[in-house]
Amino acid sequence: MALATLREVLEIAGRTNTAIPGFNIDNIEIPEAIMEAAEEENCPVILTIGQGAIHAGGLRHLPDVVRRIGESSSVPVVMHLDHGISYEQAVVCLRAGFTSVMYDGSHHPFEENVRESRAVVRAAHAAGISVECELGAISGVEDGMSHSGANLVDLEEVKRFLEAVDCDALAIGIGNAHGIYRGTPDLDFARLAACRDLGAPPLVLHGGSGIPKDMIQKAVRLGIRKINVATEVRLAFMEGLESAVGTRDIYAMYGAAKSAVRALAKEKIRMFQNKE
């Protein structure tokens, strides 16, 4: 089937009261392993290309890989840009066949975030492509870039942002962070519910690695419809490789790495669907 848009899979999530995983991919083996899990669980999936992957390999090969994977998949697959840095980058991704782009202006002054987000939405919607925006910068380390400081979204800003920007999904800071949490994350569920009650589009939780299952499932009940997982995917892949490094056999190493990613993706999919 053709690639799906973010809007299409988030509609499914809304109907089923679940969240769709947005897994970051950095090579060919990771999306292959994720797709095995997604097809076994019959769950749509968002294959996410982030700034780290773009730095490492540009946009030369991964979009082609994702498009081919989507064509032969039995479940809807979205090709998504993570933490897009500019209008220009969004346009490059639209041309490369992405079906969803995130523009992250959360580190800019509010008015600038609104202005750039509107421009990205106008271009993407003209091409039938979905857009995720962000408010309340999410701290932590993402693709080598470190952000710190307050990350609780301001409800007044959410209201004003949504009046001005017709985005298809909104990432919000509610105490979540990229990377591995020190201790248990402190998520502000009341703030999440308040965002939902403002009539926000489907809400996105970044920093999904390491958030305990009960917190994830509570967030899904309160309206989170997309959850991003990057760090745990990379760790699973690397630990899989390491477990087989003694074989000195590249296929055994890739096999172990893919099994580890497949198991992780299955666990997250089931968790986000409230299956276990």
In the 8-state DSSP scheme, what is residue 175?
S
Do residues 57 and 32 lie in contact, with contact meaning Cβ atoms separated by under 8 Å? no
Given the complex with ligand 13P, which of 7 and 206 has the nearer CB atom?
206
* Smallest gap from residue 81 Cβ to ligand 13P (A): 10
* Smallest gap from residue 230 Cβ to ligand 13P (A): 3
Give Cα 168 distance to the centre of its chain. Answer: 13
Given the complex with ligand 13P, which of 217 and 231 has the nearer CB atom?
231
Distances (CA, A) of 60 to 4, 26, 49, 98, 108: 21, 13, 12, 13, 29
Given the complex with ligand 13P, which of 118 and 178 has the nearer CB atom?
178
The residues carrying an active-site annotation are 82
Which residues sit at the interface with ligand 13P, rule CB under 6 A?
24, 82-83, 142, 178-179, 206-209, 228-232
* Smallest gap from residue 223 Cβ to ligand 13P (A): 17
Instruction: Indicate the Cα dihedral angle 170, 174, 177, 178, nearest 10°.
Output: -10
Given the complex with ligand 13P, which of 97 and 210 has the nearer CB atom?
210
* Smallest gap from residue 5 Cβ to ligand 13P (A): 18
Do residues 136 and 104 lie in contact, with contact meaning Cβ atoms separated by under 8 Å? no
List the structure tokens of 247: 């074989």
Given the complex with ligand 13P, which of 165 and 236 has the nearer CB atom?
236
Cα distance between residue 184 and residue 73, in whole Å: 36
Do residues 174 and 208 lie in contact, with contact meaning Cβ atoms separated by under 8 Å? no
Q: Helix 250-272 vs helix 231-243: angle between axes, to the nearest 10 degrees?
A: 150
* Smallest gap from residue 231 Cβ to ligand 13P (A): 3
